[in-house]
Amino acid sequence: MGCKGSKVQILPFRPIQKSRVSGFFNVCIILSTNSNRECGVAMSANNPDQIYAQQREVIERFSFDQQVVSVFPDMIRRSVPGYATIVEMTGVLAARYAKPNTNLYDLGCSLGASSLAMAKLVQQDGCRIVSVDNSAAMIDQATALISQSTTATPIELHLADVLGFPLTNASVAVMNFTLQFIAAEKRDALVTEIAQSLAPGGIFVLSEKIRFEDDAEDAIQQSMHHAFKFNNGYSQLEISQKRTALENVLIPETIAEHRQRLINAGFQKVHVWFHCFNFMSLVAFR
């Protein structure tokens, strides 16, 4: 599974360290990484997403299981407008706002794309990236990908629920397309906890699929997103079946709802820095 020219280095490596976090067993895998991210991600990205290509009699609720993990880089690239830009700019923002000797959280890290983008650019001393996901299949694959890389800033992978995960001494927190999967009634408390973990001047990068207050605009923005997916090779059947699978699983909110929650949680300023169709990314300043 080696890549030509890649340097495989896992230092220090604690294979499986089980600890209890808020009632859940988690697996904490501490890896030191180098920046050969493109190699690992590119290999996974070679698996095309055809999960919804065939007509299904029953469409089950979407989940981040092994089947999704095996095609995830291709799925997210072809489904989320601006995904590559958002991941890359997460690294840029982290490098701009990280403070020495603090934690940088990637909550809902999936295969670690945003973690690696941060690890590649953050130069401040004593930082560590703490990456959390509650899908065992994701964390297994993220471990394999990240272990092929080496960067100055270490990445810790945790198999755990972000709800109740201890957040401390942070200067950067990132939730790229994950809050939308958290139960609506639990979002306020989670965002408040994130705000309280951040030092003054720290940032929260939040990227989400959004909905629009105005139904007519919402329909137009959704149709433009579907055009994006269609032009990326998804059939109307795939788009429709995936949409059914995500119903009541991915629950989008308006930008105004996000902004209000962030202000209520104690963030001083909220700025949208990326917006394309019904997807956006914002940065909130503590």
Contact residues for ligand SAM (CB under 6 A)? 64, 76, 87, 108-110, 113-114, 132-135, 138, 161-163, 176-178, 181-182
Cα gap 243→245, rounded to integer Å = 5
Please, which residue, 106 or 238, has the CB nearer to ligand SAM? 106
Cα gap 123→100, rounded to integer Å = 9
Look at strands 279-285 and 24-31 and give their pairing: unpaired
Write the DSSP symbol of residue 162. S
Minimum distance, C-beta of residue 16 to ligand SAM, in the bound complex (Å): 19
Please, which residue, 220 or 251, has the CB nearer to ligand SAM? 251
Minimum distance, C-beta of residue 276 to ligand SAM, in the bound complex (Å): 15
Nearest residue to ligand SAM by CB is 108
> Burial of 200 by CB count in 10 Å (0-12 exposed, 13-18 middle, 19+ buried)?
exposed
Minimum distance, C-beta of residue 159 to ligand SAM, in the bound complex (Å): 9
Minimum distance, C-beta of residue 80 to ligand SAM, in the bound complex (Å): 8
Write the DSSP symbol of residue 250. S
Minimum distance, C-beta of residue 161 to ligand SAM, in the bound complex (Å): 4
Please, which residue, 19 or 101, has the CB nearer to ligand SAM? 19
The three-state secondary structure class of 75 is helix
Cα gap 30→11, rounded to integer Å = 8
Please, which residue, 77 or 263, has the CB nearer to ligand SAM? 77
Q: Which amino acid is at 192?
A: T
Please, which residue, 220 or 275, has the CB nearer to ligand SAM? 275
- In angstroms, the first-to-last Cα distance of the chain is 42
